[in-house]
Structure formats: structure tokens, C-alpha cells
Chain A
Amino acid sequence: MKIQGKALIMGDNVNTDVLHPSRFFSLDDRTVRSGFLQAAAGYEQVGGSDLSGRVVVAGDNFGCGSSRETGARAFLLAGVRAVVARSLARIFSRNVRNLGLAAVECPALPTLPQDVEVVLDLTRGRLIVPTLSLDLALTPLDPFWVAVHQAGGLLPLLGLDEPAPRGASLPIYQGTP
């Protein structure tokens, strides 16, 4: 399986409070979506823009901090296709994978230019950057996480829910049903 998209480059130790500030904590997906990257210095505007098909490419310990799943959900609501980081924080990586998003680690990841086109080959376990002739190894996923990804999330894997539609087509839940 391959995921190709324009990279959204982020740095090291980017925490959940900057990815999704707690004031955007809500049961209303419109509020959750609007909080994406709203305390990440220099990313506020891009956070509010259409990010369909983008691949977030980050440094070490990406997503450290809180367990608030609104932070992970904001990635899906924004249309992000995948996350690749030099290393991922534990709770965050579980959260995004549980929701059906691909999140992988690439230990040799160098700093890439903003918006560069990247290809994640999840079958072969490679991160490819064609314009820079880079072809880097991804840390193999545990078979459990492969199964979660293939099922479209944790709950579908366990037979507890239908898989959520991917990316920009994710239905926006508007508060009180």
C-alpha cells in the first residue's frame, strides 16, 4: 500500500497542546477541526487550510503530552493521510492508529523542505522522496498495528464498530444529535 502526498514538515517534541489546544476540546467536530495546529507557532494558518491528502512529516517524539483524542481526531478531520516521524510519542501514536490513520517511524529521517512530495510505501516499509532521491527504511510495525491499520482502526478490528471513512470524506459531527 502506498500513500503519496505533499509533506507538512514539523519539528521535534511537538506536543499535543500545540497540535490541538485544549480550548478546542469539544464534542462538535467543527470546533475540533478549527483547533488544528492553533498553538503551533507559524502553523496557525496552514492548520486552518485544506490539508486533504497531506502527509505530516515530523522529528522526534511527535505528539508528546496529553491523551486527549480530539488532538488525534483533528488530523483526520483536516484530511491528513498519514504521519511519519523520526519517533512518535506513545499515547499519540496509539490514538491516531486506533482511529485508522497510518502513523509510522523513520529513524533516519533528515529535515525535509516544506511541501516536498513524499511517498510512504507501507508494504515495503520505505519512505521515498523522489525529488531528493531519498529512499529510507521505516521501522517495521508490530503485526497488531498492521492489523489495526488494515481494519481501519481498533474498534473495527475488534468487531466493535464500523471502520470510519478516510480523510476529507470523514463526516463532521455537529454537536448534540
Chain B
Amino acid sequence: MTPRTLTEKLLRRNVAAPIVAGSDMFRIPVDLVLGHDATIALLIERFKRAGRRIWDPARCFFAADHFTPPSTPERADILRRYLTFMKEQAVPADLAFRGISHQLLVEDRRCQPGMVICGADSHTVMAGALGSFACGMGSTDILALLLTGEVVLSVPESIRIDFVGTLPDWLFGKDLALEIIRQLGEGGAVDRALEYHDLTTGGIPMESRLAIANMSVEAGATNGVFVPDATLRRYLEQRDGGAGPLPGFEGSWVIPDDGAPYVRRLRIDVGALRPLVALPGDLSRIVAAEDAEPRAVDQVFIGSCAGGRLEDLEAAARVLRGRRVAPGVRLVVTPASQAVFQACLRNGIFDVLSEAGAMITNSSCGACGGIDKGLIGAGEVCVSTSNRNFRGRMGSPDGLIYLASSLTAAAAALTGTICDPRRVLDEAQLAGFFPTPTAAPAPRAEKVA
């Protein structure tokens, strides 16, 4: 049998039949559908016109994370319609208001390796860090999926990315994601899968992997998937309390075949990288933080599905413990989920950040999508741990957004300028001083398979 990539194996496992004669596209049954208040609301009226019910409400993983809480009457109306729709369709509402859908998904036992997951949001790709096929789509595709249980997809070719070397304490998933985009280019992976192989000594922590998988779509990829290994196994054991896989997913761990065909390969020595920043506007200019012009910043945003996890908030606390944010700089901290929020309450991270002057918000998408709680004005400069620095993304089209890891972002909050975070840390801080995170597991694997 011809050797196959991980994505090919994940999709072929579910392939039903070509949809039209001569087409490369297949109807693919979906295990889980991710949705949230904004993009599901767009399909409700058309859904009702079809006069049918959701094919399987138990497979709907619907959060409310965009307009939460609503900042305008119109958004309150959108949210209400969404919640009413869920109720009418008997979709479980246990996830509403608990944080960002993508983060909730990977914290939940309903998300298992080997699944096909489609979501009404481009950052659905993040679940690929757990060894699933996960991809984002628009509302019409999701509408059809909710009615039929299937999506129509081609099987993308894969780009293989090998991480080697040893990850320094001051380097994070965001830095690695930016390095990948720097090498591939913004559209460098359109209609491709990114297949990540963690061959580093010590392993890349799960939370950093999530940031990498999350930003697969910023290179244009259909999906990004990490090869399941010891790091994933440890994460799942901790997450599910040893409950093991869901029924039907016991043997679902899939790894690529030896000799699988890749259209391109990258090899990234994580030990040779410096902290990176993406310069404002798009993802075409990614440079080392120490080479970036040391611009004065007005706001630092630590949050989003790409940079609001415990690892990120802990890194910010490393920089800011016993220190104050630079005068006049707004530091907005938005934990990605309530689990992250509660862990930060328990282990003192919020004390550190709050004493440093941070404004801490409820778990939601918030400033990342220009929704609320941290928009920027014309001419303002923001360093953000989110995934997009596009013009107008976080407010005024004339505001400037830099992307960076939370360590780099916190260093900018501390100094008031964009800088290399290693400049502001001593050795103890570089190593971290919150030894055991108490929730949202982020173990480092001893040895990666």
C-alpha cells in the first residue's frame, strides 16, 4: 500500500464517496462541529428555512465567546438568537460563557485524537495539536454540515515540519509559529496540510503546540496536525483524569506512514532561534525582536486562542513579578478559558499581574477580533499575543499591531517599548518560578517518541 501522510490517513478513514464524478472532493463524515455565537448566528435563518433538525446535537461543540458579555444591544440580540437556536435544537449549552471555543475544545474529553473536526471559525485548526484533522469553514459549509453530518473536502497534500534541538525557556510556540510563517510565507500553505513532528530534546510543551497548530491557518493551511506522541499522551491523561478515550476512539491514534510523500519539508532547529515579532499590517515581515525598531507601545494584549493560556500568563508573570507596567501603557490580560482563569487565581499569577497594573478581563475573544475590551485608536501601537496583525483587526485601521509571544509582549509592557525579552530577565526569571501549573496541563515530555 502506498505510504500516506497523517492528514491523508485521518481523512481517508472517514471518506464516504466522491461527491461528483471526476471530482477530487469527497463527502466526509464529521465527528465534531465547533461553533460560537457569531458565526452560527449567521446561519440560523437559512437553517430554519430548510425545515430540518441538526443531524446530531451531541456532536455540536457550541461555545459563546465573541459577544460575551455583549457590548452593544445588537450583539445582545445576536447572542440571544444563538442561545435560543441551541435550545430549540437541543444542543448542549454547558460551554457558553466559559471561554474561547478553541481552547474549550482542547480542554474537553469530547475532543480526541483521530477525529475529523470542522468548525465555523478559521482557528478551529488548533485542535490539530491533539492529532486530529481540524479545519475551519464559513457559515454556509457549517449549515450544510449541521443538516447532513458531512462536509465536502479534498484531501490536501502535506508539508512536513520537523522541530529539532532544545527549546530554550524564553522561546514559545508563538515564536515557532512565526518562524514557520516567515519561511513559508502568508499563502505558503494554501490548500495544504502542515504535519508537525516534534523531534526536540525534551519536547515542545502542549500549550506551545496549540499556539503553533492555531497559526497553521495564517500560512493558509487547510489544517495543521501534530504527530501524536508521549507529550500528547501525558496531556490527555492529565486532562481526562485517566478516563481514557471516548467509546469509538480507542484505537484512533494515527501516525503517518514511513516514506509518506510530502510536497515540502522544513527543519527547524528551535535552539537556534531568537524571540520573534511580526511587524504590523500582515505576516510578511517577521523579524527578531532585538532587530525590530524599538517603538513605544500604547497597549499590550495578552490573550486569544493563540496566546491566552496558562503558559502565556505565567510567562508574563515571570517578567512582571515585583515590577510595574511602564507608565501610560495599557496591559490587557484575557485568559483563554475559565480553567485558565481559575488556575491563575489559584497559583498567584493574577496577583502578580494585577499588582503590576494589568487589566484582567473575563475569558472571551475580546480585543483579538476587535470586539471589545482593548481596542486601539489611530496611530496607537499594540503588541499582541493573538494570531493576526491585520490592518484594522483590533480597532482603527490606522492602529499598528505587532505579534509576539507573551514573554516578548510582557517585556514591551514593562519597558514601554518593543524589545528582546531576554534583556529584562535574569536567569531565575528565564527559568520560571511557578513550578507546577495547577490546571490546563502543560507537561514537558521526558522523551518524545
Q: Residues on A close to B: CB < 8 A?
A: 13, 15, 17-18, 21-23, 25-28, 38-41, 60-61, 64-70, 72, 87-91, 94-95, 98-99, 142-144, 147, 153-155, 158, 160-161, 173, 175-177
A69 touches B391 (CB 8 A): no
- The listed residue with most B CB atoms (<10 A of its CB), out of A17, A87, A176, is A17
Residue contact A147 to B20, C-beta cutoff 8 Å: yes
A90 to B124, CA, bound (A): 14
Q: How far does the alpha carbon of A93 sit from the alpha carbon of B302 in the complex, in Å?
A: 31
Q: Contact check, B138 vs A67: say whether CB atoms are below 8 A apart.
A: yes
| B143 contact from A87, A155, A173, A176, Cβ within 8 A | A155
In the assembly, what is the distance between CA of A177 and CA of B77, in Å?
Answer: 12
Q: Tell whether, in the assembled complex, residue A98 and residue B41 are in contact, meaning their CB atoms are under 8 Å apart.
A: no
In the complex, what residues of B have CB within 8 A of residue A25's CB? 38
Q: Could you give, for residues 132-148 of chain B, a 1 whenever the CB lies within 8 Å of some chain A CB and a 0 otherwise? A: 00001111110110011
For A38, what are the chain B residues with a Cβ–Cβ distance below 8 Å? 392, 397
Please name 8 further chain A to chain B contacts, defined as beta carbons within 8 Å, in addition to the given A18-B390, A89-B187, sorted by A numbering: A17-B392, A26-B74, A27-B74, A27-B78, A39-B390, A61-B187, A66-B388, A144-B152
A69-B24 Cα distance, complex, nearest whole Å: 24
Does B22 interact with chain A (Cβ within 8 Å)?
A: yes
CB < 8 Å: which of B138, B187, B370, B392 contacts A13? B187
User: B207: shortest Cβ distance to chain A, in Å?
Assistant: 23
For A22, give its contact among B190, B218, B220, B369 (CB under 8 Å).
B369
The answer to whether the Cβ of B96 comes within 8 Å of any Cβ in the partner chain is no
The interface of chain B, by Cβ under 8 A from chain A, is 19-25, 38-39, 41-42, 45-46, 49-50, 74, 77-78, 81, 120-122, 136-141, 143-144, 147-148, 152, 154, 186-187, 190-191, 217-218, 220, 222, 282, 284, 369-371, 388, 390-393, 397
Shortest distance from the beta carbon of B371 to any chain A beta carbon, whole Å: 7
A61 and B190 in contact (CB under 8 A), knowing A90-B222, A91-B122, A143-B20?
A: yes
- Give the complex CA separation of A65 and B187 in angstroms: 10
Determine how close the nearest CB of chain A comes to the CB of B43; give it in whole angstroms. 8
State in angstroms the CA–CA spacing of A52 and B128 once bound together: 41
Contact of B138 among A41, A95, A143 (CB under 8 A): A95
Query: Are A64 and B187 in touch, CB under 8 angstroms?
Result: yes
**What residues of chain A lie closer than 8 Å to B121, measured between beta carbons?**
67
Query: Hey, which chain B residues are within 8 Å of A94, CB to CB?
Result: 137-138, 141
How long is the Cα–Cα vector from A147 to B19 in the complex, in angstroms? Answer: 10
CA distance A78 to B71 in the complex (A): 28
Could you tell me if A17 and B393 are in contact, using CB atoms closer than 8 angstroms? yes
Q: A61-B220, A67-B138, A143-B22 are in contact. Are A158 and B187 (CB under 8 A)?
A: no
Assess whether B49 is in contact with A161, with CB atoms less than 8 Å apart: yes
Residue on A with the closest CB to B369? A22
Contact B144 A154 (CB under 8 A): yes
A20 to chain B, nearest CB (A): 10
Chain B residue at smallest Cβ distance from A97: B140
Q: Which chain A residues lie closer than 8 Å to B217 at the CB level? A: 91
Could you tell me the distance between the alpha carbons of A117 and B297 in the complex, rounded to whole angstroms?
45
The binding surface of chain A is classed by DSSP as: loop
Are A161 and B46 in contact, CB atoms less than 8 angstroms apart?
yes
Q: B190 contacts which of A28, A41, A90, A176 (Cβ < 8 Å)?
A: A90
A142-B25 in contact (CB<8A): yes
Nearest residue, chain B, Cβ from A147: B20
List B contacts of A161 (CB < 8 A).
Answer: 46, 49-50
In the complex, 17 of the A-B residue pairs with CB atoms within 8 angstroms, ordered by the A residue number, are A13-B282, A17-B388, A17-B391, A21-B397, A38-B397, A64-B187, A67-B39, A67-B121, A70-B42, A72-B138, A90-B222, A142-B154, A143-B23, A154-B141, A155-B140, A158-B144, A175-B74
Q: Is B190 a contact of A87 with CB atoms below 8 Å? A: yes
Separation of A139 and B191 alpha carbons in the complex (Å): 14
Report how far A132 CA is from B45 CA in the complex, Å.
45
Assembled-state Cα–Cα distance A72/B43 (Å) = 13
Q: Is the CB of A17 within 8 A of B390?
A: yes
B127 → A minimal CB distance (Å): 15
Report the minimum CB–CB distance from A85 to chain B (whole Å). Answer: 10
Point out the residues of chain A lying under 8 angstroms from B49, CB to CB: 161
* CB–CB A89/B220 < 8 A: yes
- Tell me whether B392 and A21 are in contact (CB under 8 A): yes
Q: Whole-angstrom distance between the alpha carbons of A17 and B24 in the complex?
A: 30
Alpha-carbon distance A95/B369, docked complex (angstroms): 19
In the complex, chain B residues whose CB is within 8 Å of the CB of A91: 122, 136-138, 217
Bound form: Cα–Cα A98–B23 in Å: 17
Q: Is the CB of B187 within 8 A of A176?
A: no
> Which residue in A23, A39, A90, A153 is a CB contact (below 8 Å) of B220?
A90
Residue in A closest to B282 when the chains form the complex, CB atoms: A13
Known: A15-B390, A21-B397, A87-B187. A67 touches B137 (CB 8 A): yes
- Do residues B191 and A144 form an inter-chain contact, with CB atoms below 8 A? no
Taken together as a complex, chains A and B put the C-alpha atoms of A15 and B81 apart, in Å, by 28
Q: How far is it, in angstroms, between the C-alpha of A76 and the C-alpha of B129 when the chains are bound?
A: 36
CB contacts (< 8 Å) of A41 on chain B: these are: 391, 397
Q: CA A91 – CA B119 in complex, angstroms?
A: 11
Contact of B24 with A142 in the complex, beta carbons under 8 Å: yes
Q: Contact check, A177 vs B45: say whether CB atoms are below 8 A apart.
A: yes
